[in-house]
């Protein structure tokens, strides 16, 4: 059985997280419910920070939480307390950090299509660094900074040309991608020269991101070698010494028992070793090394709790001739990843966690789609009203949730020390219509009386 963080099976045979029996959480907060294990979350933050600092004493290190994975005001507060920088990718994420009181100087602003309004907002709040994605963005940023007579610090997002071993829809470091300036075709060097020529753009360094949910370090190590070699090219061609090297995120987590990603400390050691080897080879001074983990900080710290509803058996042509569909009270609106990426998860009947998982079912949501959450899952024998916990849902579940079929977004609670606190309230039905507008002409009496 795969139990993560503070998860354990208590004396009643129930799943417990952060000292909280999940059956009590269901009664108090309802389902579907996002549960976040605060102890595991903070532990992962500290492991990253400590590993990089210990392994790279010759230079500065910085850990930036990738907000796209899970961003609420409470998450901003935790990142601040743990001395993490924050990677944001929209005006909405900037606004969330701002309202949470997070220091704007520690934000890094990503995105492949930043609007004028977003760039102006970044300058207005004195956001720490803008990660420029392309040449048109540099032109736009040059124009805006001149108009405002305001400088800004910039990293350039580069494409190292690495094709990592992960799902095709979450690869980002290959040549054929919407992200970044290609190193091999000269776009990256053109970006460096454009940034250096702009009077109010302060080029601070370079950035790359090769992909997500990576279960080895091969792609990161290759990217490190390419990025440091490019640092040498930049120095030789322009005289500019890159100050900051941001290697992005991408470390995978355990969604199922067979997933065995490197430990955070091992991941850090391999990346830093690869960077240090190339710095020595080229005789370069050590830059600040930045890592942007998201999933590997919050992914395993999250669990989604559902109530089981309809259970039905259907005949199928292949062996064993039948399939059992078990429906829960959520689905693709609170976890779109199975539909988007064919993502797989580990389920557990939370109120029968000590019973054998020998019943094969396909777990489905309740939306007007096929909406399969987990195909051919093995769980304890369950009935309607039992609770189903889906593990490792801390990353890209809450943040990608929708109101499809006008489903309310679930609540999220932070658990630890036997206490649970709401960090995102559940939508009400009135919330779902709060932005709806009926034009006056549609409010008039029906045509024809």
List active site positions. 368
Q: What is the largest CA-CA distance in the chain?
A: 84
3-class DSSP state of 282: helix
How far is residue 362 CA from its own chain's centroid?
26
- Distance from C-alpha of 203 to C-alpha of 244, rounded to nearest angstrom: 9
Compute the distance between CA of residue 85 and CA of residue 23 in angstroms, rounded to an integer.
35
The C-alpha atoms of residue 149 and residue 145 are separated, in whole angstroms, by: 6
Q: Comparing C-alpha atoms, which of 62, 65, 90, 89 is closest to residue 78?
A: 65
The CA distance from 433 to 449, in Å, is 27
* CB contact burial 171-200 (16+ within 10 A = b; e otherwise): bbbbeebebbbbbeeebbbebbbbbeebeb
Of 155, 124, 126, nearest to 138 (Cα)?
155
* CA nearest to 36, candidates 410, 309, 307: 410
- CA–CA separation, 325 and 328 (whole Å): 10
- Angstrom distance (rounded) from CA 162 to CA 225: 11
Sequence-ordered strand ranges (E) for 31-143: 33-37, 61-66, 85-88, 107-109, 129-132
Helix axes 187-197, 218-238, angle to 10 degrees: 50
Is the distance from CB of 141 to CB of 116 less than 8 angstroms?
A: no
């Amino acid at each position: 059985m795969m139990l993560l963080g503070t998860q354990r099976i208590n004396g009643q045979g129930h799943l417990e997280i952060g000292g909280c029996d999940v059956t009590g959480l269901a009664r108090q907060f309802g389902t579907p419910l996002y549960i976040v294990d605060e102890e595991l979350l903070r532990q992962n933050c500290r492991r990253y920070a400590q590993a990089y600092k210990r392994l790279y004493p010759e230079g500065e290190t910085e850990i930036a939480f990738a907000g796209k994975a899970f961003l609420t005001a409470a998450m901003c507060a935790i990142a601040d307390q743990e001395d993490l920088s924050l990677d944001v990718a929209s005006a909405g994420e900037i606004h969330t950090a701002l309202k949470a009181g997070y220091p704007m100087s520690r934000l890094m602003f990503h995105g492949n299509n930043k609007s004028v309004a977003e760039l102006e907002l970044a300058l207005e709040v004195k956001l720490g660094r803008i990660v420029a994605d392309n040449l048109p963005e540099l032109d736009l940023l040059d124009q805006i900074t001149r108009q405002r007579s305001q400088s800004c610090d910039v990293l350039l997002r580069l494409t190292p040309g690495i094709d990592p071993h992960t799902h095709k829809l979450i690869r980002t470091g290959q040549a054929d991608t919407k992200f970044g300036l290609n190193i091999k075709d000269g776009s990256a060097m053109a970006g460096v020269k454009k940034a250096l020529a702009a009077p109010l753009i302060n080029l601070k360094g370079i950035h790359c991101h090769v992909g997500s949910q990576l279960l080895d370090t091969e792609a990161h190590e290759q990217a490190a070698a390419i990025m440091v070699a490019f640092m040498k090219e930049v120095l030789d061609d322009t005289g500019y010494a890159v100050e900051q090297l941001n290697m992005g995120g991408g470390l995978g987590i355990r969604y199922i028992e067979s997933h065995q990603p490197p430990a955070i400390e091992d991941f850090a050691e391999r990346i830093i070793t690869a960077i240090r080897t190339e710095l020595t080879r080229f005789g370069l001074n050590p830059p600040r090394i930045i890592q942007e983990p998201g999933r590997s900080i919050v992914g395993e710290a999250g669990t989604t709790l559902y109530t089981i509803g309809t259970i039905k058996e259907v005949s199928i042509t292949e062996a064993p001739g039948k399939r059992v569909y078990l429906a829960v009270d959520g689905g693709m609106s609170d976890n779109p990843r199975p539909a988007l990426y064919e993502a797989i998860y580990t389920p557990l009947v939370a109120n029968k966690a000590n019973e054998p998982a020998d019943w094969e079912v396909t777990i489905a949501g309740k939306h007007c789609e096929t909406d399969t959450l987990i195909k051919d899952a093995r769980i304890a024998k369950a009935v309607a009203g039992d609770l189903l916990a889906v593990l490792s849902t801390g990353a890209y579940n809450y943040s990608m949730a929708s109101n499809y079929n006008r489903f309310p977004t679930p609540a999220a609670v932070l658990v630890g020390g036997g206490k649970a606190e709401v960090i995102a309230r559940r939508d009400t039905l009135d919330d779902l219509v709060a932005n709806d507008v009926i034009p006056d002409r549609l409010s008039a009496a029906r045509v024809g009386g």
